[in-house]
Structure 1
Amino acid sequence: MTGSLPSPLAKLRTVGDLVQGVGVLRRRGMFNPLRPDEALKSTRDALKFGPTAGVVMHGVRRHAAAPAIVDERGSVSFGQLDKQSNALGRGLQAAGVKEGDVVAVLARDHRGLVLTMLAAGKIGARLVLMNTGFAKPQFADVSKRENVKAVLHDSEFIDLLSAIPTEIPRVLTWVDEQHELPADSKTIEDLTVGRSTDGIAAPAKPGGMVILTSGTTGTPKGAPRDKVSPLQSAQFLDRVPLPQNETMFMAAPIFHGTGLSQFLLGLSLGNRIVFQRRFNPEATVRGIAESKATALVVVPTMLQRIIDLDPAILAKYDTSSLKVIFAAGSSLSPDLCKRTSEIFGDVLYNLYGSTEVAVATVATPQDLRTAPGTVGKPPVGCRVQLYDADRNKVSTPHTIGTIFVSSGLSFAGYTDGRNKEIVDGMLSSGDVGHFDENGLWFVDGRDDDMIVSGGENVFPLEVENLLADRADVHDAAVVGVDDREFGKRLRAFIVPSPDAKRDEKEIKEYVKNNLARYKVPREVVFLDELPRNATGKLLRKVLVDMDVSTD
């Protein structure tokens, strides 16, 4: 069943959510209640130029000289970002980019990426945030589907651009000395030389932004993020106390929803955002200590690698300034939640959502203490509902169903015209899960990850979490592979700790002693690392197709 016209109850909920959302924003310091004109100006700018430019313009009015971002080349203030992006916008226009054109950016986290985001918004270009983990076929397919007219990219991706037509203009956003550049190369600095840094007239229509899905199989889909609403910030801030006028360390890439949302929120709150172009667990901990960061933004695999550092390395750095670790993008195992608390204290916040549905739930440190592995409860403006296979509502605790979300910020469909399933006006997250008697939500796995083995339904996440809870296991994945007798059989892939015994029989016995017999993997394969994409999502198909006969 698809959505229908809003009911009177739904309209009342919308008004109530807006009132509550405004209260959250005021409490978190997003605007001064004595200066409502400032909030109106910021909203107007975001509607005209897009959220990134709106956030920076807001920062310019409040604290133009304050540092906004820090990368390998140093600090850039709000005022400098604003002026430099004005010049870059004019440079892009001179290079032939028109209002409504689609511009792709393929860059790691640094000033060049931020300036591109700002400039595209100011001239009304539609921006596609490309995944830095793309192979040539994916990059070519997305560029063609989205009708990309120009590409701004780091020098390390020069070879990748051979996959698209040569007539598409390209501009370098960051240059590494070791990369040989084509003779006709242009950088964003070349485009800005001699150009005015004064404000740019607002485009007739905002260009908008496209975030790509994680793309663990096939070509990632494009999810437009064109909505600008105060509720968007309130939904994150309702249960996560991000700092204000302090420092946030951005480990997660901002080409994806997790990093992007927290980057924009962090700037909105006047924070200095510290970037690193490539993730390194020890460098991250060192960066937190050196910058006295109050918040760290990660995807779960990054957090896992930090937690797995040698205790002697962790002890070298003072991370006591850290008050928030914001993790999103995939599930957190109960073991990872507990170990994070032991090392950093009660600072972990786990957001559950997706590119399509935006925010669904948030788990606070208190939630994670009560039920490690939970994804928490819906924040203001979000509603979550379970439906069974016949799409009847599930209202009994500990009963698994498909998760549907209503946040007011869910996307309106992919750029190729497809959409997620909609029931009662709520959008499918693509996951299955359950809730407990305390109203805490849990994700049991992807709907399409379910394995039917010998007539029994198995969700790999349950087995993976059990294995990850072992001290001799650093990472684990479970997939279904074809089996003549059972249809599918379970195969476990384990990244062991250095001193692990790698005893396949003992691993199977451990699962048998803790779960139902049909959930015991028939095979256990030990790997040095699991295949993941640039946002940390597990590439299950790679594991399913892996030839393990010689391992």
Structure 2
Amino acid sequence: MTRVRHALTQVPVLVRGLNVIRRSGLVPVTRPDQALLSLVRLRQLGPIAGAARIAAGRDSTAVGLVDERGPLTYAELDTRSNALARVFANHGLGPDSVIALLARDHRGAVLTMIAASKLGARLLLMNTGFARPQFVDVARREGVSAVVHDQEFTRLVDAIDVPTFLSWADEPGTGRTLEELVDGVDDGRLPNPRRPGGLVLLTSGTTGTPKGAPRQVRSPLAIAQFLDRVPLRVGEATMLAAPLFHGTGLSQFLLSFGLGSTVVMRRRFDPEETLRAIQDNRVTALVVVPTMLRRILDLGPEVLARYDTSSLRIVFTAGSALPPELGNRATEAFGEVVHNLYGSTEVAVATVATPQDWREAPGTVGRPPVGCTVALYDDQDRRITVPNVVARVFVGSVLAFEGYTDGRHKDVLDGLLATGDLGHLDERGLLFIDGRDDDMIVSGGENVFPGEIENLLLEHEAVAEAAVTGVPDEEFGQRLKAHVVLRQGASLDVEGVREHVRANLARYKVPREVVFVEELPRNATGKLLRERLP
């Protein structure tokens, strides 16, 4: 009976999800045969290779990818990845292999992702910011069979003894790249693998060696979790500034491929080059982490005005907290297009704030989309249902992982997965994230969340970046220390920082120490590394 009741509760979710997918244009109402064929392709080849083949079959001239070397159609991606899969197979790689990808965003990385899926191999997405010891630890733990890498990462790759393939060469004569390897190789279709190749994302590793979080998309309705509150449509263009190895970039890459849209990418993020790419490709969706968005806006009104960004309908941001000040600046520059996603490597999607949500409550991460559940629990595992009470955030989603590759798992309550964050709901049901549960500072018996003070400091016209930490104090247990980066040409002293906080927040939230620094330590996706602050 329990299973029957659960199945009945899922019917409205299923209906709503199907309606979301229909609205996106992904399933033509007049061609149910195409819809059925698409489902078959996705089950046979997975979300990357399957989407490429579906798009190629729909329109052989449709452009799937644009990088520094120009465009590639979906048909070219499909055939070239067939050839690359054969190259991999000739080197002994197959369904039981783990192929590590250590590359920036370009055609070689995308072809590797598609080819691995066609072989049924597991693809491990490596962080391009890894140091050599991290790379070696992760490669050994995950049982890597081969590495596909850019030339700049050769020193890291040489630390392990497995076959390697060069995905991008900065200098000629350094070895045969993937494009050279597939030249002349049979690019006809391969037999379908027993099962599509899986993906392994890595956590950011801010608290130790990055953990592997396998991702397997089993339900075609999973795409509705993004489309429900982010109005992407078939056949548009997405500028992918966030890196592919990160959940933000990967999710939107998969989604854009699924919609048969053009994905525009560059090997390295450059704020002005991003604006140029938006203009030249009539990009409708920009995918960034907040640090990237700040660098674009910091170019200033004169530079922004040089480029036509009127095609943008969506600025999609995720990966770290979007401060109210930054989201408001983006809205002023691009219009009401900001969509702020909250999720994690483990849970994937939790909530999305639409432009309307942001207008009503700047700083919110919004509401759960179809198929997602968010609940708050206190330290005694009791569910919190009243507004404005800070508690632990738990999420349920069909995209959630099933445990780390080392056998560990996140805490689970009522079938929901812990995110490790603390948050609260307002009277409208909008979610706000107050910070990581291990970032909370207890000073003089008061609980202080760094994010609240940091967001306030960012509202000061002289402040470019800010981070607040707790340091040991004999009297208060911990005292607040603010690390401040000033805008170019601006001036502000210690007392000015303290007075700005004192005028807007409770006295116990005023930093007792203030230091001015040139920059804040961040990882490759712009996430603040608090443990590296002095």
TM-score after normalising by structure 2: 0.97
Which amino acid is 1:224 matched to?
P
What's 1:549 paired with? none
> Does structure 2 conserve the Cα–Cα contact (< 8 Å) formed by 1:493 and 1:524?
yes
> Does structure 2 conserve the Cα–Cα contact (< 8 Å) formed by 1:474 and 1:495?
yes
What's 2:62 paired with? 66
Deviations 1:447-485 (A, max 9, x none): 111111222211111111111111211111111222233
What's 1:398 paired with? 388
Shift of 1:196: 1.1
What's 2:167 paired with? 173
Task: Tell me whether 473-482 or 71-80 shows the greater mean CA deviation.
Answer: 473-482
Which amino acid is 1:173 matched to?
S
> Does structure 1 conserve the Cα–Cα contact (< 8 Å) formed by 2:424 and 2:431?
yes
The whole-number CA distance in structure 2 between the counterparts of 1:210 and 1:42 is 24
Task: Tell me whether 40-49 or 106-115 shows the greater mean CA deviation.
Answer: 40-49
Shift of 1:412: 0.5
- 1:343 aligned to 333, 337, 349, which one? 333
User: Secondary structure, in 3 states, of the residue corresponding to 2:471?
Assistant: strand
Shift of 1:49: 1.9
User: Secondary structure, in 3 states, of the residue corresponding to 2:26?
Assistant: coil
What's 2:291 paired with? 301
What's 1:199 paired with? 189
Deviations 1:297-329 (A, max 9, x none): 101110111111122111211211111101111
> Does structure 2 conserve the Cα–Cα contact (< 8 Å) formed by 1:350 and 1:363?
yes
Deviations 1:286-307 (A, max 9, x none): 2212222111110111011111
Task: Tell me whether 359-368 or 512-521 shows the greater mean CA deviation.
Answer: 512-521
Q: State the identity as a percent.
A: 57
The whole-number CA distance in structure 2 between the counterparts of 1:190 and 1:320 is 39
The total of aligned residue pairs comes to 534
Task: Tell me whether 48-57 or 80-89 shows the greater mean CA deviation.
Answer: 48-57
What's 2:428 paired with? 438
> Does structure 2 conserve the Cα–Cα contact (< 8 Å) formed by 1:243 and 1:295?
no
User: Secondary structure, in 3 states, of the residue corresponding to 1:415?
Assistant: coil
User: CA, structure 1 residues 301+200, in 2 after alignment: closer, same or farther (shift >3 Å)?
Assistant: same
Deviations 1:88-136 (A, max 9, x none): 0000000111221111001111100000000000011100011111111
The whole-number CA distance in structure 2 between the counterparts of 1:144 and 1:483 is 41
- Is 2:273 the partner of 1:280? no
What's 1:75 paired with? 71
- Is 2:111 the partner of 1:115? yes
> Does structure 2 conserve the Cα–Cα contact (< 8 Å) formed by 1:21 and 1:380?
yes
What's 2:23 paired with? 27
- 2:82 aligned to 67, 80, 86, which one? 86
Gaps of 5+ in 1: 547-551
What's 2:348 paired with? 358
The whole-number CA distance in structure 2 between the counterparts of 1:64 and 1:108 is 27
User: CA, structure 1 residues 476+6, in 2 after alignment: closer, same or farther (shift >3 Å)?
Assistant: farther
Shift of 1:6: 5.9
User: Secondary structure, in 3 states, of the residue corresponding to 1:148?
Assistant: coil
What's 2:513 paired with? 523
User: Secondary structure, in 3 states, of the residue corresponding to 1:350?
Assistant: strand
Deviations 1:52-86 (A, max 9, x none): 10110110111121110001111000000000000
What's 1:513 paired with? 503
Shift of 1:341: 0.9
Deviations 1:161-220 (A, max 9, x none): 1332x3x00000111127x73xxx442134323321111111123331101112223211
The whole-number CA distance in structure 1 between the counterparts of 2:467 and 2:9 is 41
User: Secondary structure, in 3 states, of the residue corresponding to 1:224?
Assistant: strand
RMSD of equivalent CA atoms: 1.5
- 1:42 aligned to 38, 42, 49, which one? 38
> Does structure 2 conserve the Cα–Cα contact (< 8 Å) formed by 1:128 and 1:211?
yes
The whole-number CA distance in structure 1 between the counterparts of 2:135 and 2:3 is 43
The whole-number CA distance in structure 2 between the counterparts of 1:373 and 1:258 is 18
The whole-number CA distance in structure 2 between the counterparts of 1:56 and 1:430 is 35
What's 2:95 paired with? 99
TM-score after normalising by structure 1: 0.94
- Is 2:145 the partner of 1:145? no
Shift of 1:378: 0.8
Shift of 1:7: 5.3
The whole-number CA distance in structure 1 between the counterparts of 2:484 and 2:38 is 49
The whole-number CA distance in structure 1 between the counterparts of 2:297 and 2:5 is 46
What's 2:260 paired with? 270
The whole-number CA distance in structure 2 between the counterparts of 1:313 and 1:217 is 38
The whole-number CA distance in structure 1 between the counterparts of 2:259 and 2:186 is 28
The whole-number CA distance in structure 2 between the counterparts of 1:236 and 1:6 is 29
The whole-number CA distance in structure 2 between the counterparts of 1:11 and 1:340 is 42
User: Secondary structure, in 3 states, of the residue corresponding to 2:438?
Assistant: helix
